[in-house]
Chains A and B, each alone.
Chain A
């Protein structure tokens, strides 16, 4: 069995920040030092140019929230001619404990032929879609887009519900 990795807690000083030691996830820098901001194990990754990235790996599914450019899985809840609303179920590989609200505007549905989009022909409530987060949106919902080849509806029921 491998030796147990050192466990650190928030506020633990890890090392000095320099050109060869960069802060990774789960860390923050203060006064030129890298500190841990999570309870977790320390991981050191070295790239080709011998630069080490210090990160702290906490528990899986670590308090993740949608971020810009993330690929998300969402379920459509509401469709109207201008936009459709959906609830974001997971971000990347991580399943969310509570859903976040998202919105796809009519012009973000596809890249080509954008002025001839009819929303109700693209989405129906209950469809499972894969989308990319465009921006954090307004106070209520994240702005999503499906204007890429690999994005769009991935699972849906037929009109008769079968």
Chain B
């Protein structure tokens, strides 16, 4: 990646303060209680709000304890780049971690991980949007992770679908996403950054399972719109954890519904 020379970078011989912090090793296979006190099957509480970016057509903010994501939707607007004529609308997505969101400082420019996540969010949302209603135009989604404490992808997908709905974009269904981390025989629902980190460092036997799964789900149509899985997982384990993720998506759906109903009621109260 090209380095940005116009911005001040830190001194060359700097060290992260985390190097001096006490290391608390997390052994995921011997986990009776998670560091934040949840049981392994419990989701973090979800906080959702719409109308947070005033100039956007629709926007939303999601908070799952320390994971905070904001999303803005613009459009439908004209496609500025010269492209072939298309009777279907285009969806674009820009996923960005803020520089201060992670333990390791992020760059201002989009890196390859962020580009990958943009594509994944797009894949999860495209089946849900009625793109044929927006010929020749594009809908832009901008996702910014303000604080990253694990499961940023699932938070971003959920957040973006609420933002699209609040923007008045026609959709077949909402999209809810949920994730799980698997280490050996343990499946951790909605992992935090610490747990995701521990999973990467975990030493597992070659025939053992270690990885993570994110599932995007259309709740009222009962369809899975996207699956993303990392690491090495056996088919049975993957299948089981996917089903758990789908069940969790269904648990989260009422929160989205409530948020959007409230959004509409506020809109009508403002109108009258």
Q: Residues 230-272 of chain B: 1 if any A CB is under 8 Å from the residue's CB, otherwise 0?
A: 0000000000000000000000000011001101110110010
A40 engages B264 (CB within 8 Å): yes
Nearest A residue to B85 via CB reads A139
Known pairs A63-B57, A97-B77, A98-B78; A7 contacts B165 (CB<8 A) = no
B257 engages A9 (CB within 8 Å): yes
Q: Residues 73-85 of chain B: 1 if any A CB is under 8 Å from the residue's CB, otherwise 0?
A: 0011111001111
> Residue A110 at the B interface, CB < 8 A?
no
CA A28 – CA B169 in complex, angstroms?
Answer: 13
B76 engages A65 (CB within 8 Å): yes
> Residue B171 at the A interface, CB < 8 A?
yes
How many pairs of A and B residues are in contact by the CB < 8 Å rule?
98
Known pairs A9-B261, A12-B220; A26 contacts B166 (CB<8 A) = no
Which segment of B14-22, B94-102, B128-136, B188-196 sits at the interface? Answer: B128-136
Which segment of A31-39, A114-122, A146-154 sits at the interface? Answer: A31-39
CA A37 – CA B220 in complex, angstroms?
Answer: 12
A59 engages B267 (CB within 8 Å): yes
Residues from chain B with Cβ under 8 Å of A60 in the complex: 271
Number of interface residues of B (CB under 8 A): 42
B174 engages A10 (CB within 8 Å): yes
CB proximity of A135 to chain B, nearest CB, Å: 11
Residues from chain B with Cβ under 8 Å of A92 in the complex: none
CB proximity of B117 to chain A, nearest CB, Å: 24
CB proximity of A127 to chain B, nearest CB, Å: 21
A10 engages B77 (CB within 8 Å): no
Known pairs A63-B57, A65-B76, A98-B78; A41 contacts B264 (CB<8 A) = yes
Known pairs A11-B171, A37-B170, A138-B85; A4 contacts B265 (CB<8 A) = yes
> Residue B122 at the A interface, CB < 8 A?
no
> Residue B211 at the A interface, CB < 8 A?
no
A9 engages B260 (CB within 8 Å): yes
Of A11, A63, A139, the residue contacting B173 (CB under 8 A) is A11
B172 engages A13 (CB within 8 Å): no
CA A162 – CA B181 in complex, angstroms?
Answer: 69
A39 engages B260 (CB within 8 Å): yes
CA A101 – CA B136 in complex, angstroms?
Answer: 11
Residues from chain A with Cβ under 8 Å of B171 in the complex: 10-11, 37-38
A62 engages B168 (CB within 8 Å): yes
Residues from chain B with Cβ under 8 Å of A39 in the complex: 165-166, 168, 260, 263-264
Q: Residues 98-141 of chain A: 1 if any B CB is under 8 Å from the residue's CB, otherwise 0?
A: 11110000000000000000000000000000000000101110
Residues from chain A with Cβ under 8 Å of B169 in the complex: 63
CB proximity of B197 to chain A, nearest CB, Å: 36
> Residue B221 at the A interface, CB < 8 A?
yes
B264 engages A7 (CB within 8 Å): yes
**Apart from the given pairs A9-B260, A40-B264, 18 other A-B contacts in the complex at a CB distance below 8 Å:** A4-B268, A7-B264, A11-B174, A28-B170, A37-B130, A39-B260, A41-B264, A58-B168, A63-B57, A63-B76, A65-B76, A65-B135, A65-B136, A99-B78, A101-B78, A136-B87, A139-B79, A140-B82
Would you mind naming 25 contact pairs between A and B with Cβ atoms under 8 Å apart? A4-B268, A7-B265, A11-B171, A11-B173, A11-B218, A12-B220, A26-B170, A28-B130, A28-B172, A35-B172, A38-B165, A38-B171, A39-B165, A39-B260, A58-B168, A63-B76, A63-B134, A63-B168, A65-B76, A97-B57, A97-B77, A98-B77, A100-B77, A136-B136, A139-B85
